Structure 1
Amino acid sequence: MPPPIYQSAVFVAVMWGVFLLDLILPGSFLHYGLVPRTARGLPGIALMPFLHANYAHLLSNTIPIAILLALTLSTRPQAWASVIAIMLCSGALLWCFGRPANHVGASGLVFGLTTFLIIVGVREKQFLSLGVAVAVGLIFGGSLLSGIIPSFGSNVSWDGHLCGAIAGVVVGIATTERAESFL
C-alpha cells in the first residue's frame, strides 16, 4: 500500500479531476449532489465529497482534506473503512435531516474527520492519538465550532457540516475502545 501522504494526494487529485472534468464536459456534475429526501439526491450520499460548486469551494476543502486524511491514514488501523463510514454516515444523516438544497463538497468529510480524530484521541488516551487530537483541535477547532452554526440564507451547508461532525463522533466511538487511564 502506498504511504498515507500519497493516498491522501490521490483522493485530492480525484476531487480536482472531477472538478476539471465538470468544467470540460457538457452539462454539470452538480446535479449528482445530495438533495435531502429525494431519490435524485441518493447518489449524492457517496458522490458529494467529489463535487464542488466552484474553484474557491474546491480550494477551501483541498488543504483540510489533505491534512486530515494523511493524519487518519497514518495513525489509524483500517483507516479507509473509517473514512468511507464517515462519508456514508454523514451523507445518510444529511439526506434524512438536511435542508432542501443541493449539497455538494467535501466539507462534511472534513468535519467528520476532525471530530473522528478528536474522539479517537480522547477515548484511547495514547500519546500519538491524543497528540493528533490536540493538534486537530487547535488547527480545526474554531472552524468546527463556527461551521455547525446555522447560517440561513447562505450557500454554506452548515447542516452538512453538522452531519459530518456527528458521523465522525459515531464512527470514532464505534471503532475505538475507551481507555480507563492515560498511558
Structure 2
Amino acid sequence: MDRMTGDGGIRQRQTTAARAKGGLLVLGLFVVLLFIIELVNMGMLRSLNRTFGLRPRSADGLLDIFTFPLLHANLNHLLSNSLPLIIFGFLVFLSGLRVFLTALAFSWLGSGLVVWLIGDGGITVGSSGLVFGLFSFLLVRGFINRSWRQILLAVVLFMGYGSILLGILPIVAGYVSWQAHLGGAAGGVLAALLLRPREGQPRRVS
C-alpha cells in the first residue's frame, strides 16, 4: 500500500513537471509568434490590422474572429497583454493540454463573437480577450469542480489581478474594447462549465 502510494506520488510529480515544461514552451512560443507578427505589422505600417482586424457585423468580419487576437495596436499594447497571457495560460496548462486548448478556444471565439455582434464599428485587435477568458476560467473552475485547491488559487489570483475585471464594463476608455473582454470572460466561464467533472468521474485537484 505504501509503495503504491509512493509510486503514485512520484508519477504525479513527474506529470506536473512535464505539464509545467510543456506550458512554458507552448506559451513562450505563442508569445514569440505574437512578437514576430507585431514586428512584421510594424514594417508594413499596420496594414495587417486593416486587413485582419475584426470588423463588427460584416460578412468578412466573421473570418477576422480567427485573426484579430494575433494583432495589436502597438508594441506597448502587446507588452501589456504578454505577461498576464503567460501567467494565466501557464496555470491553465497545468491541468493538461486538452483543458488549455478548450479554455483558449472558448475565450478566442467568445471574444470575437461578442465584438462582431455588439462592437462599436471600429477595427478591434489584441489578445486581451484571451487574457480575460483564461483569467475567468481560473476564477470559476474551482467552484464548479468543488476543488479547494483551485478555489484557493482563484482567491489569490483575484486579490492580485481582480481589478482587471473592470475592463468588461462599458465605462472603460473608448479605445479599449470592453466587448472583447466581456466575450472572452464569458467564453472562459463556458469552458469551465463544459470541462466540469460528470457524475461518477473522479475530480481532479491539479
User: Is TM > 0.5 for Structure 1 vs Structure 2?
Assistant: yes
- Out of 35, 54, 59, the position equivalent to 1:16 is 35
**Pair 76,98 (structure 1): closer, same or farther in 2 beyond 3 Å:** farther
- Out of 146, 171, 182, the position equivalent to 2:191 is 171
Letter in 2 for 1:111: F
Give the secondary-structure state (helix, strand or coil) at the position aligned to 2:94. Answer: helix
Structure 2 counterparts to residues 7-46 of structure 1, below 5 A: 7-25=26-44, 28-31=47-50, 32-46=52-66
Letter in 2 for 1:41: G
User: What is the CA-CA distance between 1:153 and the residue it aligns to?
Assistant: 6.3
Counterpart Cα distance in 1 of 2:123 and 2:108: 17
User: What is the CA-CA distance between 1:93 and the residue it aligns to?
Assistant: 2.4
Letter in 1 for 2:187: A
**Pair 76,118 (structure 1): closer, same or farther in 2 beyond 3 Å:** farther
Count of matched residue pairs: 180
Structure 2 counterparts to residues 13-162 of structure 1, below 5 A: 13-25=32-44, 28-31=47-50, 32-76=52-96, 78=98, 79-144=100-165, 146-151=166-171, 154-162=174-182
Which consecutive unaligned segments of at least 5 residues does structure 1 have? none
TM-score, normalised to structure 2's length? 0.78
Provide the alpha-carbon RMSD of the alignment. 2.4
CA contact under 8 A between 2:135 and 2:188: conserved in structure 1?
yes
CA contact under 8 A between 1:114 and 1:165: conserved in structure 2?
yes
User: What is the CA-CA distance between 1:84 and the residue it aligns to?
Assistant: 1.6
Letter in 1 for 2:66: A
TM-score, normalised to structure 1's length? 0.88
Task: Extract structure 1 runs of 4+ deviating beyond 4 A.
Answer: none
User: What is the CA-CA distance between 1:16 and the residue it aligns to?
Assistant: 0.8
Counterpart Cα distance in 1 of 2:150 and 2:124: 31
Q: Tell me which structure has the larger Cα radius of gyration.
A: 2
Counterpart Cα distance in 1 of 2:173 and 2:58: 21
CA contact under 8 A between 1:124 and 1:130: conserved in structure 2?
no
Give the secondary-structure state (helix, strand or coil) at the position aligned to 2:67. Answer: helix
Identical aligned residues as a percent: 33
Counterpart Cα distance in 2 of 1:90 and 1:20: 24
User: What is the CA-CA distance between 1:75 and the residue it aligns to?
Assistant: 2.4
CA contact under 8 A between 1:33 and 1:43: conserved in structure 2?
no
